Amino acid sequence: MAELPEIYLISQQMKTELVGKTVAGIEILQPKCLNISPEAFAAALNGAHILDVRYRGKWIFVDTDKGWLLLCLGMGGEILLVNRATLPEKHRVIIDFTDLTCLAVNFWWFGYVHYTDQLENHKMTANLGPNAVDLDPNSLQALFTKRRGNLKSYLLDQDRIAGIGNFYIHDILFQARLHPLRAIQTLNEYEILGLAAAISDRLLLSINKGGFYYEQNLYGQKGGFGMADLVIGYKENQPCPVCGTSIQKIKTGSTHSFICPQCQKAPQ
């Protein structure tokens, strides 16, 4: 499922391609992915000029002169720039532009295509934390101050830090040599320094490789980050590349985690 690297890449491509286009029409095949009625949604965005495209975590923000189109792929999906002759077989929402290109949005399971004319009133994005790749050690330290709870839950909480999901986090925590259940208030400044570097290293590596190979970009091309690019994530029972200990899959609250029990010591 798409996390920060994939959403960053597709938002950059959308910015390149969509800014300056004008919405000519909207076709909704899955009304439940909207936050307002299909009629209100179409009326709000018809004729809108696209001014900018940016992202926050797993959400894409399309700024128009009539308000904001907000997209989230949920458990996975595609946003493709096509035309009516090259529409993909599966699509849930189509946004036509006056230049006869269109944006085809598909979800594997469920996602969101929202509209708002006031960003601060859009509950699902109004409180998102800073983008994970924008955090330096000082800002990470500031976020952690006086926070309780365990490290993994915190890193996955999109209102704290936006963009990390349950795919890249295993290698982030391994590179930082931190156990997912470490209490945040026990981290020292060197561990936070290492964690900040690990977050940016692991996410930028995937960005530089075009995102996860399972996902498509705006042009329908697959990413170049494959399972071989993972260090310990999803490698249960394989040897840790640092110490040779078998990688374990453990339950951490409602999620599973892959760890090296030697390199990432469990909290006492």
Write out the residues near Zn ion by the rule CB under 5 A: 240, 242-243, 245, 260, 262-263
Residue 42, SS3?
Answer: helix
Burial class of residue 194, CB neighbours in 10 A (0-12, 13-18, 19+)? middle
CB of 33 to Zn ion, least distance (A): 42
Q: Which is nearer to Zn ion, 64 or 252 (CB)?
A: 252
Q: How many CB atoms lie within 10 A of CB 100?
A: 10
Name the residue with the smallest CB distance to Zn ion.
Answer: 240
Residues 6+ apart with CB under 8 A from 152: 169, 173, 180, 181, 252, 253, 255, 257
Minimum separation from the CB atom of position 177 to Zn ion (A): 9
Q: Whole-number minimum distance, CB 154 to Zn ion, in Å?
A: 23
Residue 64's identity, in one-letter code, is T
- Shortest distance, CB of residue 194 to Zn ion, whole angstroms? 15
The smaller minimum CB distance to Zn ion, of residues 147 and 177, is found at 177
Nearer to Zn ion, 91 or 179 (CB): 179
Angle at 103 between CA 102 and CA 107, to 5 degrees: 145
For Zn ion, the closer of residues 208 and 246 by Cβ is 246
